[in-house]
Structure 1
């Protein structure tokens, strides 16, 4: 399959911060068929790159001890061609800077923010590493969705900070949804989650992985130590489910309609 067309502002990478990288590697290898390469400890902090069929799809890194009670988590990164300006824009539009732009030797530059709804979102400026090489295929990231408690503010944040050109998909009290792009060319979504996210759950970005059969994948995942958070259900966009991996990181499944 061709390498995904990653335009500025679009999702370009995902990674998992985990308390147990070896357990995570085993889980996702069995579930999605991922293989791994571990980077130099001194240069890249032992960052693990996951590939599917020889193409990079995600990263895995050890959660630091000083992060305390922070849960294991999947993160989405959006492409930027000027990470300094993006960082300034994030602050100017109600966000916070969790991590100032940091150069990854030879690879690119990363930063991490809280958007105006409180959700963590990464930014990546390309160097040699130009994002994931496989998307919307079985075992690869297929969709990225922000569950926002402050929906209007979040939409404005991504328009102003990452230059999103947006399309309103739903605007009723029951379903308010905005996408980056339109129709089949959409690359990410923002959902008004104020009506269903519990008080103790902050806004967050969810990563969906494409699988051939959601129900079969759930059964396998549970046998490997996963937990079902939201059972499989049919939606206008395909059959979906939400799980946590064996160390508690939330991830989502969507049935690959091309499979």
Structure 2
């Protein structure tokens, strides 16, 4: 089962967005890495989802996407395509995880994350 593990806010002014959410909601904003500012929305014991703010790419300049953790990103991408999803960004490799972006058949964008074991 895919578990929602985070969110990503895309903005053309990520520094300004990070400052806004920090000032308004008290979110903790980390130093940027890969043009991405990690966000902590509160104490994990109280629930909630952490995420980040990134400079929105040309194919997703602004908006919010959830990040869904899966066991096999390749299997889920294949299954999603068979069920009408469009791949926006193929599987990308980072130090600790793989990431891909898809759009469901209704136009809703989301990310897939597979942690490296």
Match status 1:159 vs 2:22 = yes
What is the correspondence of 1:1-259 to structure 2 with a 5 Å cutoff?
A: 32=1, 139-170=2-33, 175-181=34-40, 187-193=50-56, 196-197=57-58, 201-257=60-116
Moved over 6 A (4+): none
1: CA distance, partners of 2:88 / 2:66: 14
TM-score with structure 1 length normalisation? 0.39
Larger RCO (CA within 8 A; separation ≥ 6): 2
TM-score with structure 2 length normalisation? 0.81
2: CA distance, partners of 1:204 / 1:237: 25
How many residue pairs were aligned?
A: 110
CA root-mean-square deviation: 2.1
Any idea what SS the aligned residue of 1:158 has? helix
2: CA distance, partners of 1:207 / 1:226: 15
Q: Which structure: larger Rg?
A: 1
Unaligned runs of 5+ in 1: 1-31, 33-138
2: CA distance, partners of 1:156 / 1:221: 35
Instruction: Kindly indicate whether the alpha-carbon contact (under 8 Å) linking 2:96 and 2:116 is maintained by their aligned counterparts in 1.
Output: no
Residues 135-158 of structure 1, C-alpha deviation per residue, up to 9 Å, x if partnerless?
xxxx11012111110112101110
Residues 158-187 of structure 1, C-alpha deviation per residue, up to 9 Å, x if partnerless?
0111111221033xxxx3322224xxx892
Cα 1:227–1:238 change in 2 (3 A) is same
Any idea what SS the aligned residue of 1:168 has? coil
